[in-house]
Amino acid sequence: MADAAAPIDRVLVLADDLIWSTRLVGHVRAAGFEPVAARSSDAFRAGLPGARGAIVDLTSRAYDGLAAIAAARDAGVAVLAVGQHDDHVLRRDALAVGADRVLAYRKLFEDGPATIARWLAASAASAARPVDEPESEPEPEPTETPA
């Protein structure tokens, strides 16, 4: 029996399409995490504190997916974005505002739980790495004085 006191990592799922939201929630659960469905920006932002990760559906017109990614990043939450396979501009923009990865729906449809587990494991490993200390200032070059 699992330890009842052990915390279960929560993963937010921002998707307003009921079918796709249900599918993503099921994949998160199958990957061993606790899914928390959100269908609006307000619900998503309210769920960020304490979340281990967030999955954002980029195709919704009900909320700004890029703003949701930025909000999650500002809260220190890892982000996996999903969208159309051929929307290269949106993919680039999602990565620019802080998504760890941007995947096509098909990838999550075919291999959702394993993909989600790998993404969260990679983000945890990345977060655990110490930040390099800045290098010391180089010695200034000697300057010649005019004669």
Domain 10-126 bears CATH identifier 3.40.50.2300: yes
Does 114 score more than 70 pLDDT? yes
Give mean pLDDT, residues 74-81. Answer: 97
Residue (of 65, 11, 70, 73) closest to 41 by Cα position: 65
Distance CA 23, CA 70 (A): 24
Does 134 score more than 60 pLDDT? no
Backbone φ and ψ for 35, nearest 5 degrees, come out as -80, 145
Which strands, in side-by-side order, build the sheet including 53-57?
Answer: 34-38, 10-14, 53-57, 78-83, 101-104
Give mean pLDDT, residues 32-38. Answer: 97
> What's the angle, vertex CA 63, arms to CA 17 and CA 124, rounded to 5?
85
> What's the predicted TM-score (pTM) here?
0.81
Specify the pLDDT at position 125.
81
